Amino acid sequence: MAYQIHIVDDSPADAERLEELTQRWAGKRELSVELMRHPSAEAFLFRYEENKACDLLLLDIEMTGMDGVTLAKTVRRENEAVSIVFVTGYSDYIGEGYDVAALHYLMKPVNEDKLEQVLDRALARRLREERALTLKTAEEVLRVPLSHVLWLESARNYVNLREADGRVHTVRGTLSEMEKQLDDRFMRVGRSFIVNLTKLHRITRTDMTFPDGSSLPVPRGYYEVLNRAIIKKL
């Protein structure tokens, strides 16, 4: 499936230049890209309601009608996977990006080298998100994207895996066997747990808390280790 990129900008000249540079980047990478331009946030949302395929959103901030920050918040409420890059002529809005986990800000006029670096980051993130863990339960074989996994817990001869949506899968096996399918987002915490460092919401000396409200105990001696590991991921 082609990499889905949407440009939302009410300036035809700016949108055209961004499309040209993005197509050039895709050609250099020999990447199949489906690129769409939208003259307003409303136009994008009209299309998005019909087809939510979107890997990357290149988004102007100041537009007639709905502004880019409001659009980003609207999309982010139901889509955590899409990469959002603000392309703007104003630096005053940089703080707004934290609310929508923006990947980057690009200032107009867009520098081609900087754009390509950001596009490379977004693509690497997309490929990373596609990795999945294969689980064989009593009823079925599942592929769970690694980006959906919050934590894994050893339960004697079984492993409990919790997804971000609250679902828990129980499979026969060991944490060591599961660990072989994971990447550097995950960390073994004591003998009983593996946690997704990128999903940790809060850590105290006694508990690890995740965005869905679930929590795990912090084994003795792991509070500082976890904090150092998270800092390395920033």
User: pTM of the predicted model, to two decimals?
Assistant: 0.61
**C-alpha dihedral sign at 65, 69, 74, 80:** positive
CATH no., domain 3-129: 3.40.50.2300
CATH no., domain 132-233: 2.40.50.1020
| pLDDT of 1 | 60
pLDDT over 80 (residue 224): yes
Q: How far apart are CA 109 and CA 57, in angstroms?
A: 18
pLDDT digits (tens, 9 = 90+) for 20-70: 999 999 999 999 999 999 999 999 999 999 888 899 999 999 999 999 999
Token pair 């990006």: residue: 97
Domain ranges of the chain: 3-129, 132-233
* 132-233 matches 3-129 in CATH topology: no
